[in-house]
Amino acid sequence: MEKVRVRFAPSPTGFLHLGGARTALYNYLFSKKSNGTFILRIEDTDQTRSTEKAIKQIIEDLRWLGLNWDEGPDVGGSYGPYRQTERIELYQKYAQELLKKKSAYYCYCTSFELTDLREKARKEKISFRYNRRCRFLSEEEKRKCQKENPKPAIRFAAPLEGVTIVKDLIRGGIRFFNRELDDFIIIRSDGTPTYNFAATIDDYLMKITHIIRGDDHLSNTPKQIQIYKALNLPLPQFAHLSMILGPDKKPLSKRHGATALFEYRESGYLPEAMVNYLALLGWAYDDRTTFFTKDELIEKFSLEKVSKNPAVFDINKLDWMNGHYLRKLSVSEFTKLGKDYLLKRGYLTQSQKGDLVWLEKLMALIQERVKILKEIPEWVDFLFNSDVKFELQALEKVLKKAEARELFSKAYQKLEVLSHWGKDEIEKNLRGLCQEMNLSPKKVFQPIRLVITGKTVSPPLFESLELLGKEKTLERIRQALEEIS
Ligand code: GLU
Ligand code: ZN
């Protein structure tokens, strides 16, 4: 059996999107499962749109997900270079071979002429296809054209009839009429290759056995198959992944929220959660299992179980899943990650920054509740903001003003007397207050929560007071008393 070799081949024209990340992941899982090789290839031949920055970002994002490649631009390998702009001569060589075989030809049409043709097609509401003018030029006409346009492009001479069948591992056979294929450009007049040609030559030279990519490329596959045929090269296998849709069943886009992977990283999603979630976006092991470690995915993944139907992106499920992975962290791991989000908000004083015990207490308090790390400052802002505001209305929903006044002054006394400021002592004294005033815990704790945190929902109350400290707690109760007097 030939060794499995797959590739992820991004065009570095922008950020890595969720769809691209999923394609990379499926390639990675498939290669690891089959003890194969995973290759990163940068398709940067469109030099007007490719940037170094995008290459760096894509590499960073893939590394963050933990999808490490065996061959690629930064790690090398025996089939390099792995950036298409460094392989230009190779494409030239195969283009020459196609020319020799009359499976390609020089096209002398100028961009003006082509624009005219395109315009005409648009007016007639038909899809543009090159009219093959230069395919059938006589030798003499060619010489004349060559003089007028010494920098011709090279076009593929597509078969004019018959069908090309794409045998797709996920969707079975798909027929394409060759007359629809178009004599597409393989080498531009500036000498650079186009995507369909460069990708095909590279997939061959890099000995790619399985091409797993988004189904937005399905219409390119018959073109690529025709190139393999013209050059007499062995065909790889193909698997096209269905689209990812938003909840409204339209293709996932900015309208649905963040689509770039780095936005998820920055918001505080964990790579483990992202990998798990993306794996399920178009693949399922069975109808029960939701959580998979990367190793479990490698063990269980198969193309047979990849769905033909589009997957629907559900941010709520991702958030829920991320919460699960956050809860699985140790408190110290969670603290390490969460701390950054407090710092970004400007929340930690110099002494708090260094007080690991205090910080871990704080993080332990909210770890169960947080779904995305960026929510952390919201949960604990009452510890850092000096002017915590509460709504009188919210207070009056629980207690009448007069009762609240009595509650706060008694609570003040109960707390003021504490010589050791710990959650157990705080709890004991405040529970004592419930009995004394003959009020339910809710009627005592909820108003206190409100004036301390400004919110009706907060981390556990006694721990919150402990973290806030005696002085500030008393101060807030005093202020509340003033406000309702
Ligand atoms: N460079 C192409 C893209 O980013 C890759 C297509 C392929 O995998 O063949 O869409
Ligand atoms: Zn032409």
Q: Is 12 in the pocket of ligand 1 (CB under 6 A)?
A: no
Considering the domain delimited by 87-241, tell me its CATH architecture.
3-Layer(aba) Sandwich (3.40)
Q: Decide: 281 and 274 in contact? Cβ < 8 Å.
A: no
User: What secondary structure letter does DSSP report for 456?
Assistant: S
73 Cβ closer than 6 Å to some ligand 1 atom: no
* Separation in Å, CA 407 to CA 10, 366, 461, 485: 64, 27, 16, 13
pLDDT computed for residue 39 by the predictor: 98
Distance 184 CA to ligand 2 centre (A): 11
**Atom in ligand 1 nearest the alpha carbon of residue 220:** 9
How far, in Å, from the CA of 216 to the mean position of ligand 1? 9
CA distance 426 to 432: 10
Per-residue pLDDT, 429: 96
Q: Does the beta carbon of 213 lie inside 6 Å of ligand 1?
A: yes
In SS3 terms, 97-131 reads as HHHHCCCEEEECCCHHHHHHHHHHHHHCCCCCCCC
Along the 485 residues of the chain, how does pLDDT read in single tens digits? 689 999 999 999 999 999 999 999 999 999 999 999 999 999 999 989 999 999 999 999 999 999 999 999 999 999 999 999 999 999 999 999 999 999 999 999 998 889 998 999 899 998 888 999 999 999 999 999 999 999 999 999 999 999 999 999 999 999 999 999 999 999 999 999 999 999 999 999 999 999 999 999 999 999 999 999 999 999 999 999 999 999 999 999 888 888 999 999 999 999 999 999 999 999 999 999 999 999 999 999 999 999 999 999 999 999 999 999 999 999 999 999 999 999 999 999 888 889 999 999 999 999 999 999 999 999 999 999 888 888 888 888 888 988 999 999 999 999 999 999 999 999 999 999 999 999 999 999 999 999 999 999 999 999 999 999 999 999 999 999 998 88
In ligand 1, the atom with minimum distance to the C-alpha of 20 is 4
Query: What per-residue confidence (pLDDT) applies to 185?
Result: 97
- The one catalytic residue in 254, 308, 336, 374 is 254
d(CA 258, CA 260) in angstroms, rounded, equals 6
What are the CA-CA distances from residue 343 to residues 331, 336, 356, 377, 469 (Å)? 18, 11, 14, 9, 20
Could you identify the residue written with the tokens 């961009």? 111
Q: Is the Cβ atom of 43 under 6 angstroms away from ligand 1?
A: yes
Q: Which of 49, 195, 208, 219 is the pocket-test mutation for ligand 1 (most atoms within 8 Å of CB)?
A: 195
**Nearest ligand for residue 109 CA:** 2
Atom of ligand 1 nearest to the CA of 199: 9
Question: Among 52, 39, 40, which Cα is nearest to 12's?
Answer: 52
27 ligand 1 Cβ < 6 A: no
- Is any ligand 1 atom within 6 A of the Cβ of residue 198? no
**Residue minimizing CA distance to atom 6 of ligand 1:** 9
Please tell me if the domain spanning 87-241 has the same topology as the one spanning 386-485: no
Q: Is the CB of 217 under 6 A from ligand 1?
A: yes
Is 207 considered catalytic here?
Answer: no
Ligand 1 contact via 9 beta carbon (within 6 Å): yes
Distance CA 221, CA 176 (A): 10
Q: Scanning the structure block, which residue is given the tokens 């919150």?
A: 464
pLDDT of residue 386: 85
State which amino acid sits at residue 167.
K
Give me the torsion for CA of 343, 346, 351, 357, rounded to 10°: -40
Tokens of residue 274, six digits: 């992202």
pLDDT at 1: 67
Pocket test for ligand 1, best of 217, 223, 238 (most atoms within 8 A of CB): 217
The residue extents of the domains of the chain are 87-241, 386-485
Pocket of ligand 1, candidates 210, 213, 224: which has the most ligand atoms within 8 Å of its Cβ, to mutate? 213
Say whether domain 386-485 belongs to CATH 1.10.10.350. Answer: yes
Give the position, in ligand 1's atom list, of the atom nearest the Cα of 43: 1
Distance 156 CA to ligand 2 centre (A): 11
